C-alpha cells in the first residue's frame, strides 16, 4: 500500500474545491493546504487526505468501474438468493421437528421444487461474470481472470446440482436415493467453495477501492470463513446420512443448521460489502490534483513598471 502524500510537497497549494472540515464542516475552499481550519483548528491536510483517499487513487484504473460495481452487487444478490432457496426446505423441515403436533406445518409451504429457483439465480449470476472478466487480450492468465473463472465454474456446478436436486423430488425414498441426494449436496458444497474462492481474490483486487470496505473491522466479512462454513454444512449432511447412532445424527443436524444460519448471515454481510464497493466505484473520490491548486510565486517586482 502506497504511503500518503506528504504535505510539504504542497506548501504553496490551496484548496480548489468546496470540501468541508472533517470535524466542524467548515468550507475549506481557498485555504492553504498545510494550514488549519479557522473554525476548529483541525489540520486541513487531514481533511484533504480523507477526501481524496490516496490508497484508492493509487490503484490501477478499472476499464468500467460502474459496470464492475453493479456486477459485484448483482453477483452477491444472486448467491444470497440461491443459497436461501437451497436451504429453505431443509430449514423448514428442521423447524417442524420441534413441534410434532403440527407435523410438516412449515415444510408444506416450501415446495421441493423451490430449488429450481436456486439454479435460475446461479445462471443469472453469469451476467456478473461477463462484467467482471478482464477484456480480451488483457491479463488472460492474470489473477483476476483466474478468480472470475472460479466463480463461473462454481455457478455452472451450482446450477446443475440444484437442477438435479429438483428432479430428484419424484424419486421414491430408498438407500440409493439418499446416497444420490448426498452426492448432490457435496456437489453444491463444491460449487459454493469455488464461488467463494473466486470471490476471495476478486474482493482483494477490487475491494481496496472502497475506503469503507478497506478500513472496516466489524462489518467486513471474511470469505475464507464462508468456505469453512460450507464445509461444515457438507460434513453435517454426510454424518446425518451415513451415521447410525441417533445422538450423532441429531448433533450433525444441529451443526448443519447452525452452519447454514452462519452462511446466510455471512452472505448478508458480503452483500453489504458489495454495496460499499459499488458506491465507491460509482462515486470515486476526487484526485489530489483536482482538490489542490498550486499558487504560483509572484516575481520580485510583480506589478511594477519594466525597466528600460
Q: Secondary structure of the chain: what % helix, strand, coil (to 5)? A: 65, 5, 30
Q: What pLDDT is recorded for position 304?
A: 40
Q: What pLDDT is recorded for position 151?
A: 96
Q: What pLDDT is recorded for position 71?
A: 95
Residue 109, judged by CB atoms within 10 A of its CB (0-12, 13-18, 19+), counts as exposed
Residues of the chain with pLDDT under 70: 1-8, 99-104, 135-143, 172-173, 295-308
User: What is the full DSSP assignment across 130-145?
Assistant: HHHSPPTTS-TTSHHH
Q: Are residues 41 and 165 in the same domain?
A: no
Q: Structurally, how many domains does the chain consist of?
A: 2
Q: What pLDDT is recorded for position 244?
A: 84
Q: Are residues 26 and 110 in the same domain?
A: no
Q: What pLDDT is recorded for position 114?
A: 92
* CA 177 vs CA 157, 167, 172, 244: distances in Å: 20, 12, 7, 17
Q: What pLDDT is recorded for position 110?
A: 84
2 domain residue, yes or no: no
248 domain residue, yes or no: yes
Q: Are residues 24 and 101 in the same domain?
A: no
137-179: per-residue pLDDT in tens? 555 456 688 999 999 999 999 999 999 998 887 776 677 788 8
302 domain residue, yes or no: no
Q: Look up the pTM and report it.
A: 0.81
260 domain residue, yes or no: yes
How many residues are there in the chain?
A: 308
Q: Give me the domain span that covers residue 16.
A: 7-53+287-294
**Sign of torsion, CA 102 103 105 106?**
positive
Q: Are residues 91 and 227 in the same domain?
A: yes
58 domain residue, yes or no: no
Q: Are residues 12 and 157 in the same domain?
A: no
Q: What pLDDT is recorded for position 8?
A: 66
239 domain residue, yes or no: yes
Amino acid at each position: 500500500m502506497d504511503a500518503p502524500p506528504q504535505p510539504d510537497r504542497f506548501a504553496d497549494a490551496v484548496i480548489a474545491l468546496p470540501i468541508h472540515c472533517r470535524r466542524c464542516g467548515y468550507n475549506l475552499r481557498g485555504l492553504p493546504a498545510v494550514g488549519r481550519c479557522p473554525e476548529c483548528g483541525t489540520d486541513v491536510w487531514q481533511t484533504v487526505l480523507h477526501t481524496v483517499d490516496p490508497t484508492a487513487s493509487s490503484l490501477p484504473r478499472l476499464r468500467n468501474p460502474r459496470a464492475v460495481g453493479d456486477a459485484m452487487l448483482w453477483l452477491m444478490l444472486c448467491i444470497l438468493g440461491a443459497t436461501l432457496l437451497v436451504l429453505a426446505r431443509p430449514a423448514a423441515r428442521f423447524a417442524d421437528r420441534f413441534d410434532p403436533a403440527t407435523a410438516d406445518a412449515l415444510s408444506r409451504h416450501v415446495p421441493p421444487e423451490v430449488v429450481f429457483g436456486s439454479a435460475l439465480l446461479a445462471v443469472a449470476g453469469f451476467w456478473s461474470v461477463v462484467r467482471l472478466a478482464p477484456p480480451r487480450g488483457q491479463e488472460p492468465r492474470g489473477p483476476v481472470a483466474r478468480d472470475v473463472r472460479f466463480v463461473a465454474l462454481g455457478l455452472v456446478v451450482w446450477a446443475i446440482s440444484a437442477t438435479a436436486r429438483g428432479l430428484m423430488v419424484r424419486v421414491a425414498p430408498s438407500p440409493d436415493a439418499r446416497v444420490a441426494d448426498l452426492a448432490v449436496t457435496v456437489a453444491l458444497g463444491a460449487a459454493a467453495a469455488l464461488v467463494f474462492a473466486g470471490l476471495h481474490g476478486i474482493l482483494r483486487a477490487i475491494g481496496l477501492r472502497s475506503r469503507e470496505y478497506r478500513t472496516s473491522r466489524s462489518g467486513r466479512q471474511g470469505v475464507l470463513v464462508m468456505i469453512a462454513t460450507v464445509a461444515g454444512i457438507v460434513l453435517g449432511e454426510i454424518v446425518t446420512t451415513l451415521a447410525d447412532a441417533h445422538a450423532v445424527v441429531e448433533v450433525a443436524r444441529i451443526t448443519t443448521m447452525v452452519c447454514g444460519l452462519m452462511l446466510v448471515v455471512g452472505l448478508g454481510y458480503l452483500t453489504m460489502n458489495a454495496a460499499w464497493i459499488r458506491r465507491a466505484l460509482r462515486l470515486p473520490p476526487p484526485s489530489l490534483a483536482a482538490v489542490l491548486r498550486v499558487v504560483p510565486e509572484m516575481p520580485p517586482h510583480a506589478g511594477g513598471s519594466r525597466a528600460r
